[in-house]
Amino acid sequence: MEELMRDLFLFLSKNRLLTKLAKRYGLRFGASRFVAGETISQAVEVIKDLNRKGLAVTIDYLGEFVDSEAEAFTMADNTIEAIHLIGREELNSQLSLKLTSMGLDISNQVVLKNMRRILNAAKQNNVFVTIDMEDFTRCQKTIDLFKQLKLEYHHVGTVIQAYLYRSEKDIEDLNEYSPNLRLVKGAYKEPVEVAFPEKTDVDENFKKIIKMHLLNGNYTAVATHDDAIIEYTKNLVKEYSIPNDLFEFQMLYGIRPERQLDLVNEGYKTRVYVPYGTDWYGYFMRRLAERPANVTFVLKGILKK
């Protein structure tokens, strides 16, 4: 049943009609637990609260299904506005984005133009930018563009997904760029031809690439809510005397907030991924797909209305 629910929510996350309806009717039915608001000003208040608790942040202006150059340009404008606000407010926050929202599916020329605008603004405001990884069909294009941008800018990183067979090789290939990488399990429904179908295999590959990247001496963001992976990382850095300033833990806004504070109190840098914006539907569906407990929370919220 859990696998069926996961597949259903992942299928729904790609529905364009439902995405448009969600934009129209706003953050209802529990989505506000996982999304910080529809505007950057709402997100700033959340960031300030998290910062006061000792948590670092990365924000993401949500956007999917960008079909035109004008839409991509507007998405980049909104992202740049957020970067300037982070700088002005002196927030402990980085920024994450999806290349599809910047025009990846339109042309390389469009996405590179927008990314250079964003990274120039980020450089001025001392803000680090992480390029999120999307589904497998866009993986190679994302890595190629990251490599190109990394030659021009130091303050940019990307994401590697442990459930893909190719990820170990990607870690090896990227090592020459001394990359700052966020390592995740992966949240898209991928065919068995490209991704491990079993959770145990994904977990083992996750551990493998965490170890590889840390021992390569590169900054590593371990993005997980899995206690077993967290404990593995703690033991690994202790065994190899890896300093705490070479890695961090990352978790999603609204998921296991108590565990986030526990890690801070234990002396580990912990960053919360805080999404905001009107285009929240796809992100919300993927959060529901990840854990049955998220679905239960939302259903309870609906019944209370």
For the chain, domain boundaries: 36-279
Q: State the DSSP H helix or E strand holding residue 276, giving kind and residue range, or none if neither.
A: strand 270-276
CATH code at 36-279: 3.20.20.220
Return d(Cα 16, Cα 13) in angstroms, integer. Answer: 8
Tokens for 126? 């001392």
Identify whether 287 is a catalytic site residue: no
Task: Determine the average pLDDT of the residues in 205-225.
Answer: 97
Q: How many Cβ atoms sit within 10 Å of the Cβ of residue 48?
A: 14
Average pLDDT of span 174-188: 95
Look at the block and give the residue holding tokens 């696998």.
Answer: 3
Q: Which of 60, 132, 170, 279 is catalytic?
A: 132
Q: In 3-state terms, what secondary structure has residue 120?
A: helix
Q: Which residue has the higher pLDDT, 30 or 163?
A: 163
Supply the mean pLDDT for the chain. Answer: 87
Catalytic pick among 182, 271, 286, 287: 182
Residue 98, exposed/middle/buried by CB under 10 A (0-12, 13-18, 19+)?
Answer: buried
CB 226 within 8 A of CB 232: no
152 pLDDT exceeds 90? yes
φ/ψ bin of 266: left (φ > 0), alpha (ψ from -120 to 50), beta (otherwise)? alpha
pLDDT tens figures, 111-137: 999 999 999 999 999 999 999 999 999
Q: What per-residue confidence (pLDDT) applies to 291?
A: 52
Band of pLDDT at residue 300, cut at 50, 70 and 90? very low
CA distance 27 to 119: 30
End-to-end CA distance of the chain: 27
Instruction: Select the more confidently predicted residue: 155 or 23.
Output: 155
Query: pTM for this one?
Result: 0.86
Residue 156 to residue 39: CA distance in whole angstroms: 24
pLDDT at residue 105 above 60? Answer: yes
Query: Whole-angstrom Cα distance, residue 204 to residue 265?
Result: 28
Token pair of 280, please?
Answer: 């929240």
What pLDDT is attached to residue 3? 57
Alpha-carbon span 54 to 263, nearest angstrom: 10
- Whose CA is closest to 59, among 68, 69, 50? 50
138 belongs to the catalytic site: no
